[in-house]
Structure formats: structure tokens, C-alpha cells
Amino acid sequence: MSRRERLLAPTYRHFYEQPLMIERAEGVWMYDRDGRRYLDAYNNVPILGHCHPEVVRAICEQSRVLNTHTRYITEEPVRLAEELLATLPQQLDSAVFTCTGSESNDLAVQVSRAVTGGTGFIITDCAYHGATDVLAGLSPEEGNPLGAGVYAVHPPLRSADAERFTADVARCIERMRDDGVRIAALLVDTIFSSDGVAAEPRGFLQDAVRQVRAAGGLFIADEVQPGFGRLGETMWGFARHDVLPDLVTMGKPMGNGYPVAALVGRRGLLESFARTRQYFNTYGGNNVACAAARAVLRVIRDEGLMLNAQRTGHYLMARLRTLAGRCAAIQDVRGAGLFVGVEFGGNAERAWGATEQVRRIVNVLRGRGVLVGATGRGGAVLKIRPPLTFGREHADLLVEELERAIGAG
């Protein structure tokens, strides 16, 4: 820790009051240097489980043969595009490869500005879309001020809020008009992870998207968190809402830990962008990254991980709801597949607000060998997002330890 603090810039943070030093990981388990294991119910990057052998093999094999960029014609990016686009609606027929979700969102912002001629964006009020300068203005979760032309709406965390959400989007569009701002796009994470997870009712995005399109804007689905089958029934979060995005951004789990990300969109839009703009990303779409991403798609299919996410997710949410029935601190359990949020209300007896309560629970769980995180405004929602290989035995362990941690505060 002292070496890290001395050598790495003070921009870095760790998760826990007692920072965790991890040495290796396999499947749903992470191991510290004393060999103690931790159940990983937090990390959505290793979607197939940590160090999945198929991905490791694909990376090693491709590294031996060729690793170069997209200025040459090589097989891997084209094969990845074929396989990735096959998981998306046919209208979304062109891919651009990048290295991070931030780069994908930054490019989506550039494309939507260029093709609409607008500069206005609607986002949610605790959104996170990435680390670039432009995205900082679209990421109020980090405490950043909204950028010029950026308008925020509160997502419908509870089902009953769906109509209010649609009305808020309509009001935003009116405000933009009054302010003389032309709309470029609605940009949302389709599971609203940093807002605290909003999953129901399915379809609540449809009216918002319709209004944005009518005003001349695009719909950008940020699938960095919900994508790649985590939600169980659908490969992509927007599909749960039965809406068709103009642009889709993805990253995080795409390479199971290897940096690979993408922007996918309608060819017409990208053609229009490419008339005046090029996009080159040195490592985006490199052969090894593509091999890793192809292995991820293959394993999701071959190991039936979406079905497992659906079944284990169902089981986990049912157990969490039963726990909520006997635990007044839990206000709500929501999510889809293996993306679950548990909202807390605070502990009046101990005079803890929800933020403090969740912070303590996360740290107690860490001490007991279970890793989860906090999300939502003020961190009042426990975020559960394990690898999709999570089984019932892991869900049982998580819920039992959570019950103990709630008791312990």
C-alpha cells in the first residue's frame, strides 16, 4: 500500500475501509495473498468468470500469430463484427471497435452531434458514461456539473414512476427548445446502474425514445453495464424495452477483462459521419482484442450463460425479497437477470442514514468474504453484479452473509 501510494497518483481509490490485496482469481472467486477466498458478486467485467480458460487460450493463440491494427485487412475484426452484429437487430449493421466504454460513448456523442446538427443531450441525473472531458459533462454521478446543453431527468427507480419519467423527458425537450438548444440524443444506460438500477416496467423507455426522435434526436443505448446477456432474457438491455437504438455502446465484459469495446449503429448514420470524419483507434479492434471478444460471445452461447443469469437471477431476487419481508431496512429489490439492486432505507435505531448503512454492509461483507458494491444517489443501493456463472449455492451464500451483515449493521 505504501508503494502504491507513493508511486501512483492520488487519483486512485480503493473500495473498502480495509483495502483488499488480490493476487489471483478464478471463476466467481478472488483470492488474497493469504489464500483467503472472496465470492465476487460485484465485478461485471469477468462476465464468464475470472480468467476463463477459453478467453486465456484465445488471447495466447492470437498473440502468437498476429496483433496489429485496423489499417490492414485482417480476419479477426471482420469475424468479430459478423458475430457481434448477429446478436443485434438487423438495422444495427455497422461496428466501430474501441478499447473502452468511454471511447465508445465519446464517439457516439460525436456521431450524434454530427448527424443531427444538435448539441443537446438528455441523460439521467446520476448517470455515468465515461472519463473523457466531454463525458464528464454527461456523468453527474461523479459529482461533475452538467455540460453545456446537457439536461438530466430522474429515472423511474420504482415501477410507479414510469409515467413521470416520460413526462420529465417531454419537459426536457421543451426546455431545450426554450433555451434554443437543438437536441442531439437521449443517452441512457439501459439498466440505469449508477442511478440505482431501474428495470421495470419493461418498455418504459419506448415513449421517451419516441419523443426524442420526434424532436429530431437519436437514442444512444449505453450497454456497457447491462450488455452481453447479464439481464438474462435478452443479450442487450434495450431489447428488454423493445426499442431500437440508433447507436449502441458496449465495453466492460466484452473481453472478459481484455480491453475491447465497440460502438454499433445504423450504417446510414455512420456513413453520414464518415463523409467528413475518420476514426482511428490504434488498439481498437486489434487482433488479440477481437479474439478475446469472439471467445466471450462463444462461451456465453456454449455455456448457456444467459439462461443461467435468468435462472440464478430469479432465484437470487426471490431470496432477497424473502429477506426484505423480514428486514425493515430493505426498501426495494429490483433488477433483471444477474443485475440486482437492493435499496436500503437506513437504520433508525442506530441513527444511520441509508448511505451509511450500505457503506457498513459492504465493508462487513468484505470482512466475511463476499464482495458487493454500492450505487445510486448517495450510495443507498447495494449493487450485485456477479459473473454469469454464479450458481444457486453462491446466491445462497450471498444472501446468508447479507442477512448477517444487516444484523451487524
Q: How far is the CB of 73 from ligand PMP (least distance, A)?
A: 27
Q: Phi and psi of 223, rounded to 5°?
A: -105, 15
Eight-state DSSP code of residue 50: B
Give the C-alpha separation, 110 to 105, whole Å. 9
Residue 316 near residue 286, CB atoms below 8 Å: no
Q: Which is nearer to ligand PMP, 120 or 373 (CB)?
A: 373
Q: Does 245 bind ligand PMP (CB under 6 A)?
A: no
Q: In what order do the strands lie in the sheet with 29-32?
A: 22-26, 29-32, 37-40, 370-371
Residue 195 near residue 157, CB atoms below 8 Å: yes
Task: Give the residue, chosen from 222, 246, 343, 401, that forms a contact with ligand PMP under the rule CB under 6 A.
Answer: 222
Cell digits for 238?
434495450
Task: Give the residue, chosen from 105, 166, 357, 389, that forms a contact with ligand PMP under the rule CB under 6 A.
Answer: 105
Q: Which helix (H) or strand (E) holds 214?
A: helix 205-214
Give exposure, 129-159, as e/b (b: 16+ Cβ within 10 Å). bbebebbbbbbbbeeeebbebbbbbebbbee
Task: Give the residue, chosen from 49, 101, 196, 341, that forms a contact with ligand PMP under the rule CB under 6 A.
Answer: 101
Side chain identity, residue 198: A
Side chain identity, residue 44: N
Q: Which is nearer to ligand PMP, 41 or 181 (CB)?
A: 41
**Coil, strand or helix at 275:** coil
Q: Residues in contact with ligand PMP, total (CB under 6 A)?
A: 14
Q: How far is the CB of 31 from ligand PMP (least distance, A)?
A: 24
Task: Give the residue, chosen from 77, 251, 265, 387, that forms a contact with ligand PMP under the rule CB under 6 A.
Answer: 251
- Tell the residue number behind the cell numbers 468474504, with chain if given: 369
Q: Does 131 bind ligand PMP (CB under 6 A)?
A: yes
Residue 70 near residue 77, CB atoms below 8 Å: yes
* Residue of minimal Cβ distance to ligand PMP: 101
Q: Phi and psi of 327, rounded to 5°?
A: -135, 100
Q: Which is nearer to ligand PMP, 78 or 131 (CB)?
A: 131
Q: How far is the CB of 45 from ligand PMP (least distance, A)?
A: 9
Task: Give the residue, chosen from 121, 128, 228, 236, that forms a contact with ligand PMP under the rule CB under 6 A.
Answer: 128
Residue 289 near residue 260, CB atoms below 8 Å: yes
Q: How far is the CB of 261 from ligand PMP (least distance, A)?
A: 6
Q: Which is nearer to ligand PMP, 247 or 399 (CB)?
A: 247
Q: Does 281 bind ligand PMP (CB under 6 A)?
A: no
Give the C-alpha separation, 398 to 387, whole Å. 13
Q: Which is nearer to ligand PMP, 85 or 131 (CB)?
A: 131
**Coil, strand or helix at 73:** coil
Give the C-alpha separation, 41 to 196, whole Å. 16
User: Which residues between 319 and 378 bind ligand PMP (CB under 6 A)?
Assistant: none
Q: Which span sits near ligand PMP by CB under 6 A: 96-104, 296-304, 307-315, 378-386?
A: 96-104
Q: Does 224 bind ligand PMP (CB under 6 A)?
A: yes
Q: Which is nearer to ligand PMP, 49 or 253 (CB)?
A: 253
Q: How far is the CB of 103 from ligand PMP (least distance, A)?
A: 7
Q: How far is the CB of 127 from ligand PMP (least distance, A)?
A: 7
* Site mask for ligand PMP (CB under 6 A), range 179-218, x = bound: ----------x-----------------------------
Cell digits for 220?
444512444
Residue 92 near residue 150, CB atoms below 8 Å: no
Cell digits for 372?
458487493
Cell digits for 253?
465484459
Q: Which is nearer to ligand PMP, 222 or 401 (CB)?
A: 222
Residue 88 near residue 81, CB atoms below 8 Å: no
Q: Does 129 bind ligand PMP (CB under 6 A)?
A: yes
Task: Give the residue, chosen from 225, 310, 312, 357, that forms a contact with ligand PMP under the rule CB under 6 A.
Answer: 225
Q: Which span sits near ligand PMP by CB under 6 A: 99-107, 204-212, 265-273, 384-392?
A: 99-107
Q: Which span sits near ligand PMP by CB under 6 A: 80-88, 220-228, 276-284, 364-372?
A: 220-228
Q: Which is nearer to ligand PMP, 118 or 227 (CB)?
A: 227
Q: Which helix (H) or strand (E) holds 83?
A: helix 75-85
Q: Which residues of the shown chain bind ligand PMP in the complex (CB under 6 A)?
A: 100-102, 105, 128-131, 189, 222, 224-225, 251-252
